[in-house]
């Protein structure tokens, strides 16, 4: 059994909890209040800024040229296509790019990106790949799940979001990240595999918390 098959099976309840979260089901049904989606888009944009920095570090830490190149291309895709989608949403909401980039960072966004940064700087490449995996794999899984249930005809904005993450292009990104984690897991020691599992679990928990943060529109208490 590969690393992703094993960890996917072991943590299936948490992955299913994400698919059943009211933010995700609300997008799929077209019933999510638009203010919650606006909050998500702004926070995810801030997340992607730091995520891009982590991808640059992953490229620098990669053990071979092919992997370096792949992370560099993913960085380009994130800075271009994915972040541009967020900017286009905000344009529809009459939120300027400056307002978007000056959005206050919510606690969970800050905590999640700080965790990824810590792994990138202080842990192994194996653990960094595992920590990045829930984002790539999870978004495709959400998009694939929602498009199978049918696009919300009453919510074209949400349909556009679902179609991006269910696309063949995004699936290929998720598949490559999974295959990289599997290749790293094949030759890893039991200690390295344990570190990868721990990193994957922590990021997967943060993925759930990110959806929860967006649904509750989390702010700092003081």
176 vs 181: CA distance, rounded Å? 9
Instruction: Check if 84 is active-site.
Output: no
Candidate list 82, 135, 141, 197, residue with the active-site label: 135
Which class for 65: exposed (0-12), middle (13-18), buried (19 or more C-beta within 10 A)?
Answer: exposed
Residues contacting 20, CB < 8 A, separation 6+: none
Does the annotation count 77 as an active-site position?
Answer: no
Task: Please pick, among 127, 141, 197, 207, the residue that the annotation labels catalytic.
Answer: 207
Q: Are 112 and 178 in contact (CB under 8 A)?
A: no
The residues annotated as belonging to the active site are 135, 207
């Amino acid at each position: 059994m590969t690393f992703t098959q094993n960890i996917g099976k072991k943590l299936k309840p948490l992955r299913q909890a994400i698919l059943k979260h009211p933010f995700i089901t609300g997008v799929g049904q077209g019933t999510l209040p638009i203010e919650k989606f606006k909050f998500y888009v702004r926070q995810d944009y801030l997340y992607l800024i730091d995520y891009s920095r982590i991808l640059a570090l992953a490229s620098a830490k990669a053990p071979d040229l092919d992997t370096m190149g792949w992370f560099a291309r993913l960085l380009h895709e994130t800075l271009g296509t994915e972040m541009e989608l967020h900017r286009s949403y905000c344009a529809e909401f009459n939120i300027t790019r400056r307002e978007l980039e000056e959005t206050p960072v919510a606690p969970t966004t800050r905590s999640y990106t700080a965790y990824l940064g810590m792994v990138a700087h202080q842990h192994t490449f194996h653990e960094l790949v595992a920590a990045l995996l829930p984002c790539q794999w999870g978004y495709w899984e959400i998009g694939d799940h929602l498009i199978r249930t049918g696009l919300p005809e009453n919510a074209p904005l949400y349909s556009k979001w679902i179609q991006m993450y269910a696309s063949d292009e995004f699936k290929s990104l998720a598949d490559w990240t999974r295959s990289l984690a599997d290749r790293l897991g094949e030759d890893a020691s039991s200690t390295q595999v344990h570190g990868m599992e721990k990193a994957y679990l922590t990021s997967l928990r943060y993925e759930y918390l990110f959806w929860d943060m967006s649904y509750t529109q989390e702010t700092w208490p003081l």
